[in-house]
């Protein structure tokens, strides 16, 4: 089997209302689908590679075109050689959009390999467990969304089977956010895991202050309290609170995670295969983390990460998005994911990643 072409299709659609976290506001949703074609008619599909609209969209296409010659004629099962050929730090790589495009290409390679042999990616990677507990991500700031609306969102999450939920902090003054945390805890009760996520909004001093004020509400973790490159700040916050620190969604490659781990900045690592370098690099990060007895709870893309977190011994939780974050979340793929009554998600057994894009729907939103 040889690779004959690599293409990308870009899509974007609006949210009903902009949503905000501690640092950023999102007005639309973007999706890039990278296709790797072969001479045997098997096509691998990966999603990732930066934004589909606005800044970076043209560069995504340029980078796919740049990497194409490295893949042409290659056996897709030589995925490590392909990865090494793309990740050349003198020209591209290390961090940012180029590594995200490498990630999308690598994810497509794994989807292709699974389809070629009739096995799920989960099985190709070792198949440690068949399902994983999930948390529903949400609790964003929105215009007109007060404490009552926040509580209503959490009640809806519980009705979907959630046994863990995540909310945003860092977008309003500290005491207002502590009040939001109180309302969510009272809404979900003492037995549902409550995760809080600051998206790098705080200085270390501010993060320590809010952590101490939140402790009585027993958060399961405090995610990205400070800037992603502030490893010492992560460690300062971790030493100051009983709440476990989670971080890593903005980290790149095994080298970045090595530095975060050595700084003792997080007990839980939110590795994201769409960002850090793909599935190939994710598995190296997972092994590095296992050697330190650290847990992995991936950030983003539940369709990709359900395979990965179920394939490793140190997997903890799966992040799960619903229509409150993305209005098309349950329509993008022909095989929508749902939580079971215990708040778990089973890993798909279909070949590859096991998800088929709903191209008919997506065509309405194609931007490139």
CATH code at 64?
3.30.390.10
Does residue 81 share a domain with residue 219?
A: no
Q: Are residues 72 and 220 in the same domain?
A: no
184 and 321 in a single domain? The answer is: yes
Give the pLDDT band of residue 368 (cuts 50, 70, 90): confident
Identify whether residues 243 and 315 lie together within a single domain.
Answer: yes
Q: Is residue 77 part of a domain?
A: yes
Q: Is position 300 within any domain?
A: yes
47 and 138 in a single domain? The answer is no
Q: CA 206 from chain center: how many Å? A: 26
Q: Do 20 and 33 reside in the same domain of the chain?
A: yes
| Better-predicted residue by pLDDT, 367 or 152 | 152
pLDDT of residue 55 exceeding 60: no
pLDDT over threshold 60, residue 40: yes
Residue 57 has pLDDT above 70, yes or no: no
Same-domain status, 114 and 128:
no
User: Which of 39-53, 184-198, 228-242 has the weakest average pLDDT?
Assistant: 39-53
- Answer yes or no: is pLDDT of 246 > 90: yes
- The whole domain housing 196 covers 123-346
Confidence check: pLDDT of 335 > 90: yes
Taking each helix axis from N to C terminus, what angle separates 174-188 and 204-214, rounded to the nearest 10 degrees?
A: 40
Q: Give the model's confidence band at 51: pLDDT under 50 very low, under 70 low, under 90 confident, else very high.
A: low
The model's pLDDT over 147-183, given as tens digits with 9 standing for 90+, comes to 999 999 999 999 999 999 999 999 999 999 999 999 9
Q: Are residues 57 and 88 in the same domain?
A: yes
Residue-wise pLDDT for 83-95, tens only, equals 999 998 878 878 8
Q: Is residue 144 part of a domain?
A: yes
Poorest-pLDDT segment among 54-58, 115-119, 272-276, 281-285: 54-58
Averaged pLDDT for residues 315-325: 96
Place of tokens 């004020």: 213
The reply to whether 189 falls in a domain is yes
Number of domains in the chain: 2
Indicate if the pLDDT at residue 56 is higher than 60: no
Q: Is residue 286 part of a domain?
A: yes
Round the average pLDDT of the chain to a whole number and report it. 95
Report yes or no on 236 lying in a domain: yes
Distance of CA 72 to the CA centre of its chain: 29
User: Which tens digit of pLDDT belongs to each residue from 96-137?
Assistant: 889 999 999 999 999 999 999 999 999 999 999 999 999 999
Provide the pLDDT for residue 190.
Answer: 97
Beta bridge partners of 132: 345
pLDDT band at 48 (very low <50, low <70, confident <90, very high): confident
Q: Are residues 63 and 173 in the same domain?
A: no
Between CA 81 and CA 298 the distance in angstroms is: 25
Chain segment 269-279, per-residue pLDDT in tens: 999 999 999 99
CATH number at residue 150: 3.20.20.120
* Whole-angstrom distance, CA of residue 172 vs CA of residue 22: 8
Helices (H), 215-357: 231-240, 253-262, 273-276, 279-290, 302-309
Q: Are residues 205 and 244 in the same domain?
A: yes
Burial of 322 (0-12, 13-18, 19+ CB in 10 A): buried
Q: Are residues 81 and 181 in the same domain?
A: no
Name the residue with higher pLDDT: 61 or 272. Answer: 272
pLDDT for residue 53 is more than 70: no
Specify the pLDDT at position 182.
98
How close are the terminal C-alpha atoms of the chain, in Å? 28
Do 239 and 171 share a structural domain? yes
362 and 31 in contact (C-beta within 8 Å)? yes
Q: 354 lies in a domain?
A: no
Domain assignment present for 352: no
pLDDT band with cut points at 50, 70 and 90 for residue 49? low
% of the chain with per-residue pLDDT over 70: 98
């Amino acid at each position: 089997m040889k690779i004959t072409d690599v293409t990308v299709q870009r899509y974007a659609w609006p949210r009903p209302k902009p949503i905000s976290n501690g640092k950023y506001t999102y007005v639309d949703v973007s999706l890039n689908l990278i296709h790797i074609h072969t001479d045997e008619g098997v096509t691998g599909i990966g999603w990732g590679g930066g934004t589909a609209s606005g800044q970076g969209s043209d560069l995504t296409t340029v980078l796919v075109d740049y990497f194409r010659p490295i893949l042409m004629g290659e056996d897709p099962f030589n995925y490590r050689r392909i990865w090494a050929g793309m990740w050349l730090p003198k020209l591209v790589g290390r961090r940012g959009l180029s590594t995200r495009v490498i990630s999308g290409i690598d994810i497509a390679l794994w989807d292709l390999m699974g389809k070629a042999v009739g096995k799920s990616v989960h099985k190709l990677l070792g198949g440690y467990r068949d399902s994983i507990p999930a948390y529903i991500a949400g609790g964003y700031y929105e215009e007109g969304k007060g404490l009552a609306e926040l509580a209503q969102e959490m009640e809806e999450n519980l009705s979907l089977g959630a046994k863990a939920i995540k909310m945003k902090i860092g977008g309003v003054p500290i005491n207002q956010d502590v009040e939001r945390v109180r309302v969510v805890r009272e809404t979900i009760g003492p037995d549902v895991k409550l995760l809080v996520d600051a998206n790098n909004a705080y200085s270390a001093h501010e993060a320590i202050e809010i952590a101490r004020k939140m402790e009585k509400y027993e958060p399961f973790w405090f995610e990205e309290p400070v800037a992603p490159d502030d490893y010492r700040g992560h460690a300062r916050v971790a030493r100051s609170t009983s709440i476990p620190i989670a971080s890593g969604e903005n980290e790149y490659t095994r080298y970045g995670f090595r530095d975060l781990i050595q700084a003792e900045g997080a007990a839980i690592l939110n590795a994201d295969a769409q960002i850090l370098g793909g599935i190939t690099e994710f598995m190296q990060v997972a092994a590095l983390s296992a050697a330190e007895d650290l847990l992995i709870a991936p950030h983003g893309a539940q369709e990709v990460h359900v395979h990965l977190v179920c394939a490793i011994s140190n997997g903890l939780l799966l992040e799960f998005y619903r229509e409150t974050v993305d209005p098309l979340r349950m329509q993008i793929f022909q095989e929508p994911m749902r939580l079971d009554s215990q708040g778990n998600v089973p890993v798909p057994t279909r070949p590859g990643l096991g998800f088929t894009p709903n191209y008919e729907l997506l065509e309405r939103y194609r931007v490139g």
